[in-house]
Structure 1
Amino acid sequence: MTYGHQLTFGVLLDPDAARPGDGVLLDPDAARAGDSVERARLAEELGYDVVAIAEDPDGLDAWTLLSWVAARTGRVQLAAHTSVPPRDPAMLARSAAALDLLSAGRVDLTLTTGERAEAKGEAEAIEIIRGVLDADDPRPLTYRGEHYRIPRMQRGPLPAHRIPIQISGYAHSLLQIAGRTADGWVAELAVLGPDGVAAANKVIDEAARAAGRDPAEIRRTLIIDPGVSTDDLLPLIVEEGAGTLLVRSTDPTVLRRFVKDAIPALREAVGKTAGTVPGRSAAVRAKRRAGIDYDRVPASLAETAVEPGDVEYARVRNTYLRGGAPGLVLRPRTTAEVVDALGFVRAHPGVPFGLRSAGHGISGRSTNDGGIVVSVAALNGIEVLDEAKRLVRIGPGARWGDVAAALAPYGWALSSGDYGGVGVGGLATAGGVGWLAREHGLTIDHLRAVEMVLADGTVVRASADEHADLFWAVRGAGANFGVVTSFDFEVDEVGDVGFAQFVVGAEDPAALLVAWGQAIEAAPRDVSGQLILGPRRPGQPSFAQVMAVVDADQPDTIIDRLQPLAAVGPLYDQNVVLLPYAGIMANAAEGYHRAQGDPVARSGLIEHLTPEFAAAAARMLASGAVHWFQIRTVGGAVSDVPADATAYAHRSANFSVVAMGSDPRRVDAVWRDLYGYFDGMYLSFETDRSPDRLTDAFPPATLARLRELKRRYDPHHLLRDNFTIDPRGGQR
């Protein structure tokens, strides 16, 4: 029988097989290590898929040697054959995860029994290793078994891929462990023989079925001597389901001959009888969420799709500020795959649907609980289309820090929020309030065209000349009409800029807000910035963070512009630097989002920071209901654009206000005092899903036009979970 695994070939290196040192006297261990590394490099060069190193208790440490091999190779899988005990499984898991991260997901792990014939703790070891590697579980790992005890241990790190754990041996107890829980079984053909392999497979298969597993989940690996003929190997592959053959040799001549003579013949013969590649394991399938037809994920998306049981799930479930638990994350890499993804979403009309670019998402709508998320993070290209016209094309999955870095060599910039980790797609369809807004306008004001996939799967290009109505809607409400797969922007010439960070006293926060607002409104347009306030902390002075960017490269001009801002309150600290715009945007944390919880954010647009508004804001801060309160500058060039030119219509505002807390009832209670001062709202910073927020975001005429377009482009309301404009009226 065949278990459907793709046939792979590898080399099992023997570190004790030293190579002559070409006349140079070497330490014996150094010679063995160097020989192993060179043989691993040769194996990769010859096209082998796996390099395995067996641990020798009296020789070189296998993990140290494998790390050296990893550094000198770039493609082959790295398999460590190691025994527990004496290796501690928890520490072994950490070592494997670390090397897997350093080698970009190339580590496999094979547990051996050393000198023992029977199992002794291997099943517990597998449980512990998997528990340590389950970094998605926030709880500490505890374990009480017959052979191992772990009172309390921090999990992780999360490896780059799901590290396969194989079991090596022939005893009945080991074969049962392989069937019940391991990802693979490894055995020496010379010890078992073909009949022994068949008998062992029978035990493994029976144990797998008894545990509710598909026997195809377990890869079968045979260690072979180089003298075995192709005719002898073929039945082991076709009839006994061997998925990997490891050649035990360090002889370059042998390795080359096997590649030349055996591998092509075996691949050709097996190709005629190849089975179906096994699907996800029973353990992964057990975590699937109701309502999603996982077996019908399009073939184009199956390879990159992530389910709750996958190791990649920890990297894609949450966003920057909030935790999520989607049932499926689809990760298209092309426009055609986006079409396929939306087709899958259409087949699940009752399932929550989130659209995500890079996962910053303060609004929280790019993750969900039990639904489908379509992440376009892989569509992250940045391309200069016309240097003379400063026209660039950017994918929705690119991050603004990367965009700024790509534009910097040309002396260009595009005002785009204030954090480099934000994805292009969400911001460039909502507005884009950035460090250069008063001088250069919103991000959407530089948009010249988009390619997008509509709700029905149609791919269109929208611009001032093509689908002009859709282009109008994309600039401010784009997530309601389709998935943008590329943006064409006309960017600005921007040299070095001044970036200031002040800490000012805020004993009277209302007075500070009024003074800062007046200073900003009086400032030339080349000044943009923000102010952040938090509740007073007991025993500490009250202070505010004031940040500003001056779009100028002359120090005297920068200092002159900043003086009024620095004077709005007692100055506790200051830092002013001259740097490229890309330097400001290089502030994103690396790694995946680990946020938990469900924070509450409220947003509003306001023309002036009046004493009345400032007093209400001070009361809100004093209540303790919000964690922080932020005001960004708009106005200037933003207000130059006619209110009806884009779906972002509240152009007269000079400030964008946002407050964040954790209890929606407490936040709403204090926000009501501010609500009457606002005229409009920036939807990217709003988590309230009530229908009233829709009328805050869009004036009546704008909303009526958007609803008419929604009826035309998304009549079945597919795009319903991202500050949705219901074509029938209302918001969910």
Structure 2
Amino acid sequence: MPDYGHPLRFGSFITPTAASPQRPVELAVLSEKLGLDLATFQDHPYQPSFLDTWTLMSYAAARTERIQLSGNVLNLPLRQPAVLAKSVASLDLLSGGRVALGLGAGGFWDAIEAYGGTRLTPGESVDALAEALTIIRGVWDTADRSVLAVDGAHHRVRGAKRGPAPAHDVPIWLGALKPRMLRLIGRAGDGWLPSMAYLQPGDLARGMGVIDEAARDAGRDPAEIVRLLNVGPDTGADELVRLAVEDGVSTFIVVGDDEGGLRRFAALTGDVRERVAEARASSGVRERGRVRRTSALARRLPGIGYDDLPADLAERAVEPGDPAYARYTSSYLRGGAPGLVLRPRSVAEVRSAVAVARGHRELPLGVLSAGHGISGRSLNRGGLVIDVSALDSIEVLDPDTGRVRLGPGARWADVARVLAPHGLAISSGDYGGVGVGGLATAGGIGWFARSHGLTIDHVTAVEMVLADGRVVRADAEQETDLFWGMRGAGANFGIATSFEVTAARVGTIAFAQLAFDASDTAAFLERWGRELEAADRSVTGQVVLGARRDGARVAQAMLVVDSEDPDTVIARLQPIAEIAPLLEQQAVLTTYDQVMGLFSSDDPQRGRGEPHSHSGLADHLSPALAAEVADLLDAGTSYFFSIRAVGGAVADVASAATAYAGRNAAFSLSGFGTGPAFDAAWERLVPHLSGSYLSFETGTGPLWLERAFPPAHLARLRELKRRYDPTGLFRDNFFVDPTVDAVEGPAA
């Protein structure tokens, strides 16, 4: 039989004994400490002396960090397939992609029937397993927007909703001996998991042949199917090497619950790996990483070196044919279809991803943290995406000073939740689902803008990977020019891998929601602007306007008051509440993390098209600007228009201190619209604006850069681009072209 070239892996096979319930968990933890790759557990639900295997796996996942977990094998007749699919996906998400699904068709039918299962013939049990595979994979296939319907003889779902998708492409390994089951593995399985103790001489080779033939008949590469084997604790290195080189087994799982046996088995693994590597080198067998299905390979795009990825990235890379690809076909607002997604988990892997990007310089390059950005450049079509969402750490370094370290993939709702017990908060936009990376490099206009400034005003250091692969730290003492540029135009200079930020002391706050009759829109906006500018700087908020209904227009306002005293809150909100007739009002005392949790979605996969939005900064809501906004809304060219308050603490920072320049603005305006009429209407606003906040802008090209950055800022950014990214590797998010000279002028 061939050596399929799969990487060697080693694991343990643990009995879920209830007599000493912590013992199986301790053996899983030991397996990880010994360097084994997976811990697997027997599953006999009808056995009174056994723990429930799925509960045990979940507990073991919480006690371990790296090792993969699987049933060996799960008893399908007592597990409903759709619910099992959801359980697997849930644990895979909770464990960071560490679950495999080992399944068995049944056996011990008297016990199964006693527990409420249905007795099946051998043929029926294979049919039932095939139906279950269809249902399980259907539940995981969130790319398919249809409801799931499978009308099987043994398992059925009728109009089921799909999801959640697992964190990774969960392999399904089947325990089997008979030809019909082996053929099912060849057609639809990801691995064969027999036990050596039940195999007769020649069974292993015959089984491999049956699987390979069935795979080829189904249009599959037999190497898509991993060959695993449960072996006894006395199996020596010579036998393991022979099984790998001659029979194609690549994953060896030692049976037994003896700690000494586990240690002896683990001690063999280094020698076995080395000898198999030597045998493969002499015979010309190339070690494969992950082997994708033929159907997935057919969806690869030309010009991308899929097979040349570094080993540290290849296992988790996502291609158009992979189950995990659905996550990257949409962000919060925008659709996408990248050719390759890299998912680094460490700074070293980010460096590797940047090297891949350098090797594909001709492709669009997106960097994704949470996928919310309105500007939408984190996804692309046909290009490369580097997803840093796994770098999601949130560390409170010093609760007394408020110093924290954040990974770019953390979401601001989670940051707020972790900081809340310490009485800390970071002003961080107004939507909790936003990722740290995008906001902390662009600006960060949030609920505390007037009281605490922008998010970037509290960033004290950024660690990042540059275009040439160097890892640098930029702060007030080192790489100071880069530190300046990262606070407002950071997407141009590299990939941030962590931020150090000083959080503010924040306790109980007030959150108010007001609905106004804004039918006289221009007058409403003038008064809104006047009262917000006059308000105590503890008050920050925004107002959202849309189309008229039955001739009337409603303005929805949301405000935060950084105070816990009800009388103070009422006094500071009262002048705002009086600017127009109130239709609805609500105000509550709450905490910042609860407010961020109100505006946070765990599912960013909403957008499918191309959003069209424009953004501007205004020093004041002047009568002329208010009239133009009213005309724009009345013309129906914008269906969603928001005005966020800035000023206050934002203006305390000098314009020249950061790449973000719009410090004199009291308001940030953004609108969504369609077609040339919206563009033309927006242009009538431009003479009344003093800048632009690019995070809310979908326009591209030099014009938008010039509106966001005054000449002196833009000249400095271009000089920084020449120093840190002269070839323009990072060019797909408001590209500062290093080859263009800006006209010098005073900083705004």
TM-score of the superposed pair, with normalisation by structure 1: 0.84
The structure-2 alpha-carbon separation of the partners of 1:286 and 1:60, relative to structure 1 and needing over 3 Å to count, comes to farther
Instruction: Give the match's secondary structure for 2:548.
Output: coil
What are the within-5 Å matches in structure 2 for residues 402-421 of structure 1? 402-421=414-433
Q: Percent identity?
A: 47
1:437 corresponds to which of 443, 449, 456: 449
The Cα offsets for residues 606-640 of structure 1, whole Å up to 9 and x where unpaired, read as: 12223333233233333444332110011223233
What are the within-5 Å matches in structure 2 for residues 31-46 of structure 1? 34=18, 40-41=24-25, 44=28
**Following the alignment from structure 2 to structure 1, what is the Cα–Cα distance between the partners of residues 185 and 88?**
19
The structure-2 alpha-carbon separation of the partners of 1:45 and 1:454, relative to structure 1 and needing over 3 Å to count, comes to closer
Query: Residues 237 and 270 of structure 1 are in contact (CA less than 8 Å); yes or no, is this contact kept in structure 2?
Result: no
The structure-2 alpha-carbon separation of the partners of 1:233 and 1:684, relative to structure 1 and needing over 3 Å to count, comes to closer
Q: CA deviation at 1:723?
A: 0.9
**Following the alignment from structure 1 to structure 2, what is the Cα–Cα distance between the partners of residues 398 and 221?**
36
1:187 corresponds to which of 187, 190, 194: 194
What are the within-5 Å matches in structure 2 for residues 134-149 of structure 1? 134-141=141-148
2:225 corresponds to which of 202, 218, 233: 218
Partner of 2:276: 273
Partner of 2:54: 67
1:718 aligned onto 2:729 = yes
Letter paired with 2:457: D
**Following the alignment from structure 1 to structure 2, what is the Cα–Cα distance between the partners of residues 9 and 272?**
18
1:556 aligned onto 2:538 = no
Partner of 2:99: 106
Q: CA deviation at 1:475?
A: 2.3
Query: Residues 147 and 161 of structure 2 are in contact (CA less than 8 Å); yes or no, is this contact kept in structure 1?
Result: yes
RMSD of the TM alignment (CA)?
A: 3.8
The structure-2 alpha-carbon separation of the partners of 1:533 and 1:96, relative to structure 1 and needing over 3 Å to count, comes to same
Query: Residues 168 and 316 of structure 2 are in contact (CA less than 8 Å); yes or no, is this contact kept in structure 1?
Result: no
Query: Residues 497 and 550 of structure 1 are in contact (CA less than 8 Å); yes or no, is this contact kept in structure 2?
Result: yes
Query: Residues 161 and 312 of structure 1 are in contact (CA less than 8 Å); yes or no, is this contact kept in structure 2?
Result: yes
Q: CA deviation at 1:547?
A: 1.9
Q: CA deviation at 1:195?
A: 1.0
The structure-2 alpha-carbon separation of the partners of 1:185 and 1:301, relative to structure 1 and needing over 3 Å to count, comes to closer
1:567 corresponds to which of 578, 596, 602: 578
Instruction: Give the match's secondary structure for 1:452.
Output: strand
Partner of 1:30: none
Letter paired with 2:387: S
**Following the alignment from structure 1 to structure 2, what is the Cα–Cα distance between the partners of residues 265 and 194?**
24
Partner of 1:6: 8
Instruction: Give the match's secondary structure for 1:565.
Output: helix
Larger deviation: 396-405 or 192-201? 396-405
Partner of 2:184: 177
**Following the alignment from structure 2 to structure 1, what is the Cα–Cα distance between the partners of residues 501 and 259?**
53
Unpaired stretches in structure 2, ≥5 consecutive residues: 108-120, 281-286, 743-748
Larger deviation: 608-617 or 271-280? 271-280
Query: Residues 228 and 253 of structure 2 are in contact (CA less than 8 Å); yes or no, is this contact kept in structure 1?
Result: yes
**Following the alignment from structure 2 to structure 1, what is the Cα–Cα distance between the partners of residues 191 and 575?**
69
Q: CA deviation at 1:94?
A: 4.6
1:116 aligned onto 2:122 = yes
TM-score of the superposed pair, with normalisation by structure 2: 0.83
Query: Residues 55 and 62 of structure 1 are in contact (CA less than 8 Å); yes or no, is this contact kept in structure 2?
Result: no
**Following the alignment from structure 2 to structure 1, what is the Cα–Cα distance between the partners of residues 399 and 25?**
43
1:79 corresponds to which of 71, 81, 84: 71
Q: CA deviation at 1:603?
A: 0.6
Letter paired with 2:122: R
Larger deviation: 171-180 or 382-391? 382-391
Query: Residues 364 and 732 of structure 2 are in contact (CA less than 8 Å); yes or no, is this contact kept in structure 1?
Result: yes
**Following the alignment from structure 2 to structure 1, what is the Cα–Cα distance between the partners of residues 493 and 375?**
18
**Following the alignment from structure 2 to structure 1, what is the Cα–Cα distance between the partners of residues 385 and 214?**
36
What are the within-5 Å matches in structure 2 for residues 45-444 of structure 1? 47=31, 49-53=38-42, 59=46, 65-74=52-61, 77-79=69-71, 81=73, 93-94=85-86, 96-97=88-89, 100=92, 105-112=98-105, 115-116=121-122, 120=127, 123=130, 125-141=132-148, 152-209=159-216, 211=218, 213-222=220-229, 235-244=242-251, 255=258, 258-259=261-262, 264-265=267-268, 268-269=271-272, 271-274=274-277, 276=287, 278-282=289-293, 283-383=295-395, 391-444=403-456
The structure-2 alpha-carbon separation of the partners of 1:64 and 1:93, relative to structure 1 and needing over 3 Å to count, comes to farther
Instruction: Give the match's secondary structure for 2:192.
Output: strand
Letter paired with 1:203: V
Instruction: Give the match's secondary structure for 1:676.
Output: helix
1:502 corresponds to which of 504, 514, 524: 514
Unpaired stretches in structure 1, ≥5 consecutive residues: 16-32
Instruction: Give the match's secondary structure for 1:73.
Output: helix
Partner of 1:652: 664
The Cα offsets for residues 545-572 of structure 1, whole Å up to 9 and x where unpaired, read as: 2222223343322221111111122223
The Cα offsets for residues 425-479 of structure 1, whole Å up to 9 and x where unpaired, read as: 2222222212222233322233444333332223333344434333332222221
Partner of 1:533: 545
Partner of 1:681: 692
Q: CA deviation at 1:197?
A: 1.1
The Cα offsets for residues 313-332 of structure 1, whole Å up to 9 and x where unpaired, read as: 33455322223222222233
**Following the alignment from structure 2 to structure 1, what is the Cα–Cα distance between the partners of residues 550 and 606?**
27
Instruction: Give the match's secondary structure for 1:657.
Output: strand
